[in-house]
Structure 1
Amino acid sequence: MPKSSVHQVPVSSLPGSLPSINMPLDTDPKLVASSIPLNLEGLNESNLAQEALWRDSFALTGTLRTLYSPACIIPVWREVCNRRSPTSFELKIQSANIVRIGELASWVDAPFTFKTASTPRTTCSGIFSLVPASSGTWKIWVIRTILEQLDGENDVDKLRACEQPFNRTMSTLNANCTANGEDNPSSFDVVIVGGGQAGLSVAGRMKALDISYVVMEKNQEVGDNWKLRYGSARLHTIRQYSHLPFNRTFPSHYQEWLTKDDLAQGYKDWVKTYNINIWLSTRLLCGKWDHTSRRWTLQVQRDGSHHEISSSYVILAVGAGGQIAVMPDYPDRDHFKGTVLHSAEYTDPSSFKEKNGIVVGTANTAHDVAEDMLVAGLASVTMVQRSPTYVLPYEYYQRVQELLYNENVSTDYADRMSFSNPLSISRLLALTCLHAAAREEPERFDALEASGFKLERYGDITHYIYERMGGHYMDVGASKKIADGLIKIKTDALPVRYTPNGLKFEDGEELPADLIVFATGFERSMTRVVRQFFGEDVAQQVNDFWGVDEEGELIGAFKPNGHPGLWYHGGTLGHARYCSRFIALSIRAMLNESPIPVYGRNGYDDPFNV
């Protein structure tokens, strides 16, 4: 079956706007919520604001969809309601609240719950965001609907901790934390390739739903995907945002900005707590899909030995492009007397003390490496900047994240509020808050520009995360070192070739170097990975991974993607944790032979509905 035609678009092109309303302080949100006489099946265009949006997370469409304007929303709404038969609608009037974005925008959020009566029966939640209309009535500006649970199944958001210690050689474990008795099981419902945040998250969800699974991790220990990185590697997002499912993986004794060692330890503890079935030192070599049995036959290398296993589903959680490094190929490298590394190979610059270092790139990793070189005592550290860089001070982002991700709010609730919104609305909220913070201290950015750094001070963080998958810098201290001249910056010309003692640039300047680190990112094509593992036929059936489509939904990620047995999982730490639940719920429904109907762009006959 050919893949659906999905085109990537700029996030800036997505429809949507914030309501330009500042509601009076005495507005009663409970009274507002009680004024809308609604049931789900009776929703019509008169209930919606002119600029209305609807974001569905598997509740009614069986996938991730965003629809814009009453004229587009209502026909689809009626069709999916007719198919899924929503019932037991309950508006949670006592939980209604006012959301205020400074003095610029405000609205009333009214939560609700409902069930679906058709097979598979489900429990769902949602939020109506309400704004006043000129007629004095209230209209729905945003609808969010979220699949919560499959009725009759375990809770996908809960998993009992196991008393049994983790054993890296143990075979498959069931939800009661007992081994299945096989030393080398060969058949699973699900094989998860990759044991990082995404792979572990979806594994935990599988176990919660009694789905047989195994995680295949190429490294020797849980957490090595972080542990083996360069010495100063750390997260640039807050601790409370960084947990795995089911618990606060990084409690208060962890520092706010988690290091690579913190992450590795947290992952190990979590795997031990929930006795996750993970095969370490294991690589997927290749696989073949059987259309008749609807199962994969997979060739695997485990601890140096060859094994053949089978599964109904494979989830690729290997990072975009399988973490294949991208590195410019300048001439005369063989003439260079020093050391050249990609950041993926870089670990510790201490042996280069009092020597010269160059970092090519100016995103998060490049800044980390440059700071690392400075601390290690290199005589000079120069960053080579190839294009303007969005610099986002960590405290700006911290203030925004801490509104939801904190000790007083459950991670489950924070995720629903963060990831259920239409992307265009989340983007506008981020731009409003982050740009306002940047305008309050222009001198910080003026000093950085004065050093020669090409700065994008009012950047679009949604663009960098959802389109580029990085490329910005979350400033945790390196910007001041650049502004103070401790880290030098080369922005006026690009490298053209190596010399015996460094790099030569277009303007004729030669920078001396003993160590050159290319922080130039990784290949982004997931179809290349699919082709490598499963061949051209399968690669032709699936879309690539990441970037957003015309609806503002991530391409390929977390949802049916053209092949009946293949899923992609990854993204930010929050995506990995939250969206893993939808993959697990969908697969559980399919294993029960009652799949959630998928309403794609061409209705129920969409190629995604496989």
Structure 2
Amino acid sequence: MTATPSILEQLPCSLPPARDVSVTDDDATKIGKRFESKLGTLEAGDLTEDVVWRDLFSLTGSLRTFYGSSNVLERWKALTQPVLCSGFTFQPNSTRIVRLGGEFLWVEARYTFQTQSQPATECTAMVSYANVDGKWRIWVLRTILDRLKDHPSVDQYVPCRQNGEHKRGLLSKPQDYQKDVWDCVVVGGGQAGLSVAGRLQSQGISYVVLEKNAHVGDNWKLRYQSTKLHTTRESSHLPFDRTFPACYPEFLTKDDLAQGYQDWVTKYDINVWVNTGLILGEWRADESLWHLQIVRDGEAQTTTARHVVLAVGAGCQIPVMPEIEGHTNFKGIIQHSATFTSADEWRGKAGVVVGTANTAHDVAEDMCAAGMSSVTMIQRSPTYVLPYEYYQRILDVLYNDKTPTHLADTLSNTNPIPITRLISKYALHGMAKKEPERFDALEKAGFLLIRYGDIIHQLYERFGGHYMDVGASSKIAKGLIGIKSGARPTKFVSDGLLFDDGTKLDADVVVFATGFLGNMKSTVQDLFGPQVAAQIDDFWGLDSEGEIRGAFKPSGHPHLWMHGGTCGQARYFSRFLALSIRAALDGTPLPIAD
């Protein structure tokens, strides 16, 4: 199978060498202060040759990344002037010196600035400086939309319920609140949908969340019994508060997530209609409205909205299974991981899992715990294994009980994606090199291993396919979970699977952990028809600038938005959807750069 070329590998960027650079905290402050007057009128000498600028809605109305000094300088002048960008102000105590091992070094500083054209906005600039031949120059520039002037913060919202008492919010008792025309209908009540809903509410936007399940949190609660996050509690909150305080475990279970979501919805009086699904929608341009056919508690209804946000799951929950000949001859059980709940009833049986990414490892561990006679994973291609503690060390730097989540999100989610890739590879590979024995043991067990992988490529370009090791790797190394690799299953027989290398694997149960269709565009076509689908971008993957396609930003249809991603992405980027929708409702939409 030919691998898809990585866009990330083609983008021109690098980390700044430390060389013999010496810099103190006082020096960093002076650097930050000196550039305060330069940012409004940048010149070529202020930039490194490989400078990267990422704008998050402040000047482009979208997510854009630009590369190279001449291109950045041209774009900067072209985009700052029409919106009357001004007032760059250095933020005292915002500087920090970043040393990556002994090899790389840069200085960071933060600034505020404004745009005066309509809509007038308040923004942040985060600038990273590298030392080139003894002169400090801009290496990475990040510009971020913070708020619309004359509107409240999108990052802070007072709970409608405190200590059990209801406090009137912008929408009083929204569970009882209905409108003939909603400003926005959000489809999906998981992390992404709830995050958008909270941000919309902070901006005084009338909305409703349509959740197909019977309860908030069922998107997690109905998954297989052992489901838990492989990332930390502090990185998993919903907006505005620490949804999961210290009484929750470090790695949240599906029940923890469901409970946290329910508590949060109650605390902020989020307007969710459960047992409600969107069946069809039609955009009527002459009215500038969506006409939506829904089913609520089994009853067909219609509603209308000015904007629709689709938050129906990162993988759209459409299972993908390879076709293998002879499945009707198999006397055992065949299922996709989407319908897997527990292996408890399979005690004493031979289990096979097709796939070696996160879910596959979880299912295999369940099979072991259930006392199945054998557990074997079928590995079709090498897999990047990332020990969770490596990733946790990186997350803990920002996501901890001392750093406000919105600040951690800003620092974490705004860096240009290819720069984040270089930093993460350097840090994670360094950790892996210190304990080769754990990876040697996997390879000895027959596991096809990517030892020094690229987590950013996995998340953004492959849409997964890796394993965050929370314990299954040691079971593979000990032989508790077998590995069948280097051969392709070709046919089911009554008691197992045949492979193209002439071997046979006995099985009573085969679970396909082979993922889901990852393009929400197919859902758009099903709901709104081919004409609307033709207007929008694909969902996920990276474009030529190294930006995520389709998600979190203008989709191609000015009244349709797609949202999803990891917990942190869903939480942070929801702010930009709410700000964009608020600006459009005000009649002053954010200008979108060409």
Give the TM-score category using the shorter length: over 0.9
SS of equivalent to 1:401:
helix
Moved more, 575-584 or 523-532: 523-532
Specify the alignment match of 1:80 in structure 2.
Answer: 79
Q: Is the 8 A contact 1:8 1:547 kept in 2?
A: no
Specify the alignment match of 2:99 in structure 1.
Answer: 100
Aligned AA (1:40): L
Aligned AA (1:48): L
Correspondence 1:123-202 to 2 at 5 A: 123-134=122-133, 136-163=134-161, 175-179=170-174, 185-202=179-196
Q: Is the 8 A contact 2:94 2:110 kept in 1?
A: yes
Shift of 1:41: 2.8
Q: Is the 8 A contact 2:159 2:169 kept in 1?
A: no
Specify the alignment match of 2:108 in structure 1.
Answer: 109
Post-superposition Cα deviations, 1:395-428, rounded to whole Å, max 9, x if no partner, equal: 1001011111111111111111111111111000
Post-superposition Cα deviations, 1:512-551, rounded to whole Å, max 9, x if no partner, equal: 2121110000012222111100011001111110011111
Specify the alignment match of 1:456 in structure 2.
Answer: 450
Post-superposition Cα deviations, 1:86-144, rounded to whole Å, max 9, x if no partner, equal: 1222012432111111111111111100111111111101111112232x332111111
Correspondence 1:449-598 to 2 at 5 A: 449-598=443-592
Aligned AA (1:502): G
Distance 1:123 1:546 in 2: 29
Specify the alignment match of 2:22 in structure 1.
Answer: 24
Correspondence 1:342-381 to 2 at 5 A: 342-381=336-375
Aligned AA (1:147): L
Specify the alignment match of 2:290 in structure 1.
Answer: 296
Distance 1:264 1:18 in 2: 40
SS of equivalent to 1:78:
helix
Q: Is the 8 A contact 1:8 1:548 kept in 2?
A: no
Matched, 1:230 2:228: no
Distance 1:314 1:123 in 2: 26
State which of 11, 14, 24 in structure 2 corresponds to 1:14. Answer: 11
Shift of 1:435: 0.3
Q: Is the 8 A contact 1:9 1:547 kept in 2?
A: no
SS of equivalent to 2:161:
coil
Distance 1:190 1:138 in 2: 46
Shift of 1:434: 0.2
Instruction: Go from structure 1 to structure 2 and tell me whether the alpha carbon gap of 1:195 and 1:159 turns closer, same or farther (over 3 Å shift).
Output: same
Specify the alignment match of 1:434 in structure 2.
Answer: 428
Aligned AA (1:394): Y
Specify the alignment match of 1:422 in structure 2.
Answer: 416
Q: Is the 8 A contact 1:201 1:245 kept in 2?
A: yes
**RMSD over aligned Cα atoms:** 1.7
Distance 1:585 1:26 in 2: 38
Q: Is the 8 A contact 2:175 2:272 kept in 1?
A: no
Post-superposition Cα deviations, 1:218-246, rounded to whole Å, max 9, x if no partner, equal: 11111111101011111111111100100
Specify the alignment match of 2:243 in structure 1.
Answer: 249
TM-score under structure 1 length normalisation: 0.94
Aligned AA (2:113): F
Q: Is the 8 A contact 2:36 2:90 kept in 1?
A: no
Q: Is the 8 A contact 1:165 1:275 kept in 2?
A: no
Distance 1:316 1:233 in 2: 24
Distance 2:374 2:563 in 1: 40
Shift of 1:154: 1.6
Distance 2:183 2:541 in 1: 29
Distance 2:44 2:150 in 1: 35
Matched, 1:331 2:325: yes
The aligned length equals 586
SS of equivalent to 1:357:
strand
Distance 1:37 1:414 in 2: 24
Distance 1:321 1:133 in 2: 43
Shift of 1:250: 0.8
Distance 1:280 1:178 in 2: 16
Aligned AA (1:11): L
Identity of aligned residues (%): 51
Aligned AA (1:16): C
Distance 1:165 1:282 in 2: 30
Shift of 1:505: 1.4
Distance 2:118 2:179 in 1: 32
Moved more, 72-81 or 425-434: 72-81
Aligned AA (1:208): S
Q: Is the 8 A contact 1:396 1:434 kept in 2?
A: yes
SS of equivalent to 2:511:
strand
Instruction: Go from structure 1 to structure 2 and tell me whether the alpha carbon gap of 1:228 and 1:181 turns closer, same or farther (over 3 Å shift).
Output: closer
Aligned AA (1:154): P
Q: Is the 8 A contact 1:530 1:539 kept in 2?
A: yes
Instruction: Go from structure 1 to structure 2 and tell me whether the alpha carbon gap of 1:25 and 1:118 turns closer, same or farther (over 3 Å shift).
Output: closer
Aligned AA (1:514): D
Instruction: Go from structure 1 to structure 2 and tell me whether the alpha carbon gap of 1:541 and 1:346 turns closer, same or farther (over 3 Å shift).
Output: same
State which of 374, 379, 387 in structure 1 corresponds to 2:381. Answer: 387
Aligned AA (2:34): S
Aligned AA (1:525): N
State which of 206, 209, 212 in structure 1 corresponds to 2:203. Answer: 209
Q: Is the 8 A contact 1:164 1:177 kept in 2?
A: no
Aligned AA (2:129): L
SS of equivalent to 1:503:
strand
Shift of 1:176: 4.6
SS of equivalent to 1:403:
helix
SS of equivalent to 1:307:
strand
Aligned AA (2:356): T
Instruction: Go from structure 1 to structure 2 and tell me whether the alpha carbon gap of 1:334 and 1:65 turns closer, same or farther (over 3 Å shift).
Output: same
Aligned AA (2:76): W
Distance 1:10 1:39 in 2: 32
Distance 2:269 2:33 in 1: 46
Distance 1:17 1:501 in 2: 53
Aligned AA (1:139): R
Specify the alignment match of 1:340 in structure 2.
Answer: 334
Distance 2:301 2:147 in 1: 35
Aligned AA (2:13): G
Specify the alignment match of 2:405 in structure 1.
Answer: 411
Q: Is the 8 A contact 2:6 2:457 kept in 1?
A: no
Specify the alignment match of 2:312 in structure 1.
Answer: 318
Aligned AA (2:11): L
Distance 2:191 2:468 in 1: 20
Moved more, 255-264 or 29-38: 29-38
Post-superposition Cα deviations, 1:483-512, rounded to whole Å, max 9, x if no partner, equal: 000001100311111111121211222222
